[in-house]
Amino acid sequence: MEEKREAGTEGALPERDLFIGLVQSFQAAAMQQMGKMPSRFTNQIDRDLPQARLSIDMLEMLEERTQGNLTGEESRFLKHVLTELRLNYVAEIEEDRKSAAKLGGEAPAAEPGA
């Protein structure tokens, strides 16, 4: 990917840094939505698994749409983040299933693509 911005330009970041920042933004959102970290606004733990799935889906779409256009470092970073998020998401779904089973309730249906 060609750098279209110079690092020395006032206020401008290289595209590599912008891309990494975008991925990190979705990563932080998904982790927060899975209840893994508190909201930076309320400092409360909130859990919204459907929203977490959407954040992961956005990164999967980004991976698909940028295939062949990323540097090796960018591609590895995106793959690492997606792997981490998918593993955490599956763990949260399993935790919900175990909790539901303990309470004698019905386990939530698996999310598409999980």
- Domains held by the chain: number: 1
Q: What is the pLDDT of residue 1?
A: 44
Angle at 7 between CA 74 and CA 67, to 5 degrees: 20
pLDDT, position 102:
85
Closest CA to 14 of 28, 29, 1: 1
pTM: 0.78
Residue 62 is assigned to a structural domain of this protein: yes
Asked if the structure places residue 40 within a domain, the reply is yes
- What confidence score (pLDDT) does residue 39 get? 85
Q: Is position 8 within any domain?
A: no
Query: Would you say residue 85 lies in a domain?
Result: yes
Alpha-carbon distance 57 to 19, whole Å? Answer: 17
Domain that holds residue 46: 15-102
pLDDT of residue 40: 83
Residue 7 lies in a domain: no
Give dist(CA 4, CA 43) in Å, integer.
Answer: 37
Written as tens digits, the pLDDT of the chain (114 aa) is 445 555 556 778 999 999 999 999 999 999 999 999 998 888 999 899 999 999 999 999 999 999 999 999 999 999 999 999 999 999 999 998 998 888 876 555 555 555
pLDDT of residue 112: 54
The DSSP secondary structure of 45-103, one letter per residue, reads --B-HHHHHHHHHHHHHHHHHTTTSS-HHHHHHHHHHHHHHHHHHHHHHHHHHHHHHHT
